[in-house]
Structure 1
Amino acid sequence: MDFIALDFEIANNDLSSACSLGMVFVDGNQKVKEKYFLIKPPKLKVEKSFSQVHGLTEEDLKEERTFDEIWEEIRGCFTKDTLIVAHNAFFDMSVLKSCLLHYSLEVPEFFYACSIPISTRGLNGFKVGNSLKARVEHFGVTLDHHHNALSDAKACADMVLKCLEIKQRKSLQSYCKTYSSIPVHSFADLNPQTTFYTRIKRKNVRKSFPTVSVSDITPSTKEFDENHPLFEKNLVFTGELSTVDRAEAMQLVVDKGAVIKSGVSGKTDYLVVGKQDPSVVGPDGLSSKERKAKELMKKESKIRILKEKEFLQLLS
């Protein structure tokens, strides 16, 4: 194979919780084969926020094979002779290595590259967000079902092939050698990320709503989609969210390139409002943050108040 494009989806915060894998095999600059697997993750725990992204549930996965069983079928694909490609490859390679380590499987030696710098060279100076969706739209590549692992892997492969065509290179290997800004990494040397977001240690200072320190929330990625509606926006949270933990929600937000603030001001773009404790905020159910936001809105402030459902829709 010239290269194999792949994509993982995960079931929960643990990167060993792979729940689907798509693989597209490219030889002679043609897609020649594809594989798609649903994977039963350890403990069969699918968190709601992850299911909302890829649509998979515990019911979908309960009868599927575990990763160690699937690995027996695909491990021969991961050799020094074939380059593995993924969009935001550090994430997918971290998932793969976390799964191997979880099941005490031998770590193979192979090389991988990320399609973000690969496609950046093909942009020829155009400024396009780093997300797979933004990149494939620019190149006119079809993405049928975003966050379906096989659909994402096919789009990644097509985008790489489009870049080879634009730059008139015969192979991905020669393409990567031509441009020093495209690193090719050794999988054996990878120090993997093991969790999707960092859980925050908190003290229950109120009986219902534990606090989260804004300073504890830092991005877990260096790549941001500059076209995402939350990119470089200022957000404030108030109240308890019912479908996602506050710390998790904040982590997802900063990973979109947003900035979390502790208080509402004229620079606030969004106030995310969850369930309030009447014994704390009073009978009208409004926190001091929401009251201040409403006062600012009367003065034609740009701030927008989001209920939890609206926030999740904007996030995804």
Structure 2
Amino acid sequence: MDFIAIDFEIANENMNSACSIGLTYVEKNEIVKEQYFLIKPPNLKFDASFTAIHGIKQNDVVGQKNFDEIWSMIKEDITSNLIVAHNAQFDMSVLYCCLKSYGIAIPDFEYVCSIPISTRACRGEKVGQSLKERTARFGISLEEHHHAGVDARACAELVIACVKAKNRKSLQTYCQTFSTIPIKQFAELKPQTFFQKKKPSKRKFNTVAISEISAMTDTFNENHILYGKNIVFTGDLLSMDRKEAMQKVVNIGGVMKSGVSSKTNYLVVGIQDPKLVGAKGISSKEKKAYELKQKGLDIQIVNEESFLKLLNNEAIAID
């Protein structure tokens, strides 16, 4: 193989809590094989904020293989090929911590991060480092971001696109040409053992105006749960920024509103900044929504997990 791209998703803040893995195999700049596994973590603690990102719940992994069983199936492939991951420090740390958790000897193999690989191919363009931004730059689809199989394939396609953009025969010759791209040894990894969540950013909400958002399609599914519904956001989402969430709403025919009113159908409540909402953690939008509900108005107040289900046109339980 030229390389194998991998991606992990984790169930909680512990890096040994892998709950899924995707692998995409590349030979002669072509994807030749893909594998995806759900993984039963050492314990079944699923943090709601992580589930909101990748959609995997405790019930999804009950009866699935433990990591050590998965490892016996992929060990030979991993240890005999160059491994690529987007933000490789994270995925390699998950792998390392999972191996340690099951008392498995730490193997040695080479790995490389697709961030510096793609940075070289779009140097000077000021493209963000996220997988979403890098794949968008090369016209690569990423419709189910944070599905390990989808992300592994997108990472592989990103690397292939970079190799071709610079007219190189393979990733190996690409890295040899651009010596600033570090190929590292897994056995020398200094793993991250605990996932530090990013602090919510106030800036990304306050700078997004509804007038900036317009639907990217002329046809809508009028049977979609959110079609024609008035949607308001308050707080910080973990799975996407405010602008992306607003775009998804209008793309399915929903209507974005800046404030809660008697016409509001759904208020999506994310993580609140205590400095803004006080000790009770309730924003003025949420407070007003509850007041209107008490008056008999049908306003649904939903969390991020429920919002993601609504986007997928899934019914949710309403209190």
Q: Report TM bin, short chain.
A: 0.5 to 0.7
> In the alignment, residue 191 of structure 1 is paired with which amino acid?
K
Distance 1:185 1:286 in 2: 44
Alignment map for 1:65-144 (pairs within 5 Å): 65-79=65-79, 81-144=80-143
1:15 to 2:25 alignment: no
Matches within 5 A, 1:170-181: 170-181=169-180
The one-letter code of the counterpart of 2:118 is S
Work out the CA distance in 2 between the residues paired with 1:92 and 1:166.
26
Does residue 27 of structure 1 match 2:30? no
Instruction: Report how far residue 105 of structure 1 moved.
Output: 0.3
1:273/1:308 contact within 8 Å kept? no
Runs of 4+ in 1 over 2 A off after TM superposition: 229-235, 270-274, 307-310
Please give the alpha-carbon distance, in whole angstroms, between the structure 2 residues aligned to 1:271 and 1:63: 32
Q: CA deviation at 1:184?
A: 0.8
> Aligned equivalents of 1:191 and 1:8: distance in 2?
18
1:166 Cα shift? Answer: 0.5
- Alpha carbons 1:78, 1:108 under 8 Å: kept: no
1:230 Cα deviation from its structure 2 partner: 3.7
Question: What is aligned with 2:163?
Answer: 164
Amino acid at match of 1:86: A
Amino acid at match of 2:14: D
Structure 2 SS opposite 1:99: helix
TM-score norm. by structure 1 comes to 0.66
How far residue 181 of structure 1 moved from its aligned partner, in angstroms, is 2.0
* Contact 2:272 2:281 (8 Å CA) reproduced: no
- Measured in 2, the distance between the counterparts of 1:273 and 1:106 equals 43
Residues 78 and 109, structure 1, Cα contact 8 Å, conserved in 2 = no
Query: Taking structure 1 as reference, are residues 109 and 272 closer, same or farther at Cα in structure 2, changes over 3 Å only?
Result: same
1:38, 1:64 within 8 Å by CA — same for their partners in 2? yes
One-letter amino acid matched to 2:77:
C
Secondary structure of the 2:126 match is: coil
Measure, in 2, the Cα distance between the counterparts of 1:89 and 1:195.
Answer: 15
Partner SS, residue 104 of structure 1: coil
Show the counterpart of 2:190. Answer: 191
Distance, in Å, in 2 between the alignment partners of 1:27 and 1:132 is 22
Structure 1 counterpart of 2:48: 48
> 1:154 is matched with which residue?
153
Matched positions, count? 236
In 2: Cα distance, 1:8 partner to 1:26 partner: 18
State how far apart, in whole Å, the 2-side matches of 1:231 and 1:168 are.
42
- Alignment partners' CA distance in 1, 2:281 and 2:112: 50
Inter-CA distance 286–190: structure 2 relative to 1 (3 Å threshold) = closer
Q: Which residue of 2 aligns with 1:205?
A: none
Root-mean-square deviation (CA), in Å?
3.6
Gaps of 5+ in 1: 199-218, 221-228, 236-248, 257-269, 291-306
| One-letter amino acid matched to 1:39 | I
Matches for 1:241-252 after TM superposition, within 5 Å: none
Residue 31 of structure 1 aligns to a residue whose secondary structure is: strand
Q: 1:13 to 1:162 in 2, by over 3 A?
A: same
Judged with a 3 Å threshold, the aligned counterparts in structure 2 of structure 1 residues 125 and 68 are, in CA distance, closer, same or farther, namely: same
Distance in 2, matches of 1:195 and 1:43, equals 15
Structure 2 gap segments, 5+ residues each? 207-234, 242-269, 285-300, 308-319
Cα deviation for residue 37 of structure 1 reads: 0.3
Distance 1:32 1:91 in 2: 25
Equivalent-residue separation in structure 1 for 2:84 and 2:40 (angstroms): 24
Inter-partner Cα distance in structure 2 for 1:29 and 1:146: 23
Q: TM-score scaled by structure 2?
A: 0.65
- Per the alignment, in what secondary structure is the counterpart of residue 46 of structure 2? coil
- Tell me which residue corresponds to 1:260: none
When structure 1 is superposed on structure 2, of 116-125 and 9-18 the one drifting more is 116-125
Q: Give the corresponding residue for 1:64.
A: 64
Q: Deviations over 1:7-26 (max 9, x none)?
A: 00000010000000000001
Note closer, same or farther for the CA distance 1:271–1:148 as it changes in structure 2 (3 Å cut). closer
Cα gap change, 1:286/1:156 in structure 2, threshold over 3 Å: closer, same or farther?
Answer: closer
